[in-house]
């Protein structure tokens, strides 16, 4: 196939319907374009392969959303989708959306009660008082309820049922708790 007619509407339709061979054919054929487009950018904490992968994801999204009935050609449309997806990935990396998770304390493996001497016990008692003070002053009522149920060994599903909230709300509350108590 020539570059002018690639990919054909039939191959696009096959790729859109989930045909992995058609998707791979389009990705492989357009890989030089993807490399060229992704090489213009930098992503925090990533490398050129990460950007190339984001470009491939953008291409797959373009395949899924392309409508030939609107009268546009696929390649210019795909370039816009790829560009937009790469920009979104860069913005997400810069937003440090998951910074709270990276700075969090693992509530299950925190060594609160290991000590070798009486002085260690005093230090542990002070730490425990600080944690309890933090629980009382920094956490909302819902966060306290979630924390105590979680420390009681309950599952996210069980906590959600007891408090009549979604499992996602339980997960979000635990993330906030880790962040506030770290």
Q: Kindly report the CATH number assigned to the domain that includes residue 59.
A: 1.10.1740.10
Residues 106 and 176 grouped into a single domain: yes
Max Cα–Cα distance, the chain, nearest Å = 80
**How far apart, in Å, do the first and last CA atoms of the chain sit?**
58
Q: Give residue 3's pLDDT band: very low, low, confident or very high (50, 70, 90).
A: very low
Residues 91 and 13 grouped into a single domain: yes
pLDDT digits 0-9 by tens, 46-61? 788 888 999 999 999 9
Whole-structure pTM value: 0.52
User: What domain range includes position 174?
Assistant: 101-181
End residue of a domain, out of 95, 110, 133: 95
Under 8 Å CB-to-CB from 170, ≥6 apart: which residues? 146, 156, 159, 160, 163
Query: H helices within 66-138, ranges in order?
Result: 74-95, 99-102, 118-138
Report the alpha-carbon distance of residue 45 to residue 16 in Å, rounded: 31
Q: Give residue 80's pLDDT band: very low, low, confident or very high (50, 70, 90).
A: very high
Please give the pLDDT value at position 76.
92
Residue 138 near residue 180, CB atoms below 8 Å: yes
1: in domain: no
Residues 36 and 81 grouped into a single domain: yes
126: in domain: yes
Q: What is the mean pLDDT of residues 123-134?
A: 79
Q: Given a cut of 60, is residue 112 above it in pLDDT?
A: no
* Tally of residues, the chain: 182
CATH at residue 116? 3.40.50.2300
Q: What separation in angstroms does the CA of 94 have from each of 43, 45, 98, 173?
A: 8, 9, 10, 23
Q: Given a cut of 80, is residue 118 above it in pLDDT?
A: no
Please give the pLDDT value at position 2.
42
Query: H helices within 5-105, ranges in order?
Result: 9-16, 20-38, 48-65, 74-95, 99-102
Domain tally for the chain? 2
Residues 154 and 173 grouped into a single domain: yes
Residue among 100, 97, 109 at smallest CA distance from 178: 100
């Amino acid at each position: 196939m020539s570059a002018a007619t690639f990919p054909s509407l039939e191959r696009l339709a096959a790729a859109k319907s989930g045909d992995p061979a058609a998707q791979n054919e389009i990705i492989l054929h357009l890989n030089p374009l993807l490399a060229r487009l992704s090489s213009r950018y930098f992503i925090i904490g990533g490398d050129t392969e990460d950007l190339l992968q984001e470009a491939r994801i953008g291409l797959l999204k373009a395949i899924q959303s392309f409508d030939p009935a609107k009268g546009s050609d696929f390649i210019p449309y795909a370039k816009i989708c790829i560009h937009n997806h790469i920009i979104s990935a860069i913005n997400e990396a810069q937003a440090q959306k998951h910074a709270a998770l990276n700075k969090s304390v693992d509530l299950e493996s925190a060594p609160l009660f290991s000590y070798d001497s009486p002085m260690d016990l005093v230090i542990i008692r002070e730490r425990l008082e600080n944690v309890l003070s933090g629980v009382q002053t920094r956490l909302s009522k819902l966060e306290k309820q979630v924390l105590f149920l979680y420390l009681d060994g309950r599952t996210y599903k069980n906590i959600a049922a007891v408090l009549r909230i979604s499992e996602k709300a339980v997960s979000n509350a635990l993330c906030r708790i880790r962040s506030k108590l770290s």
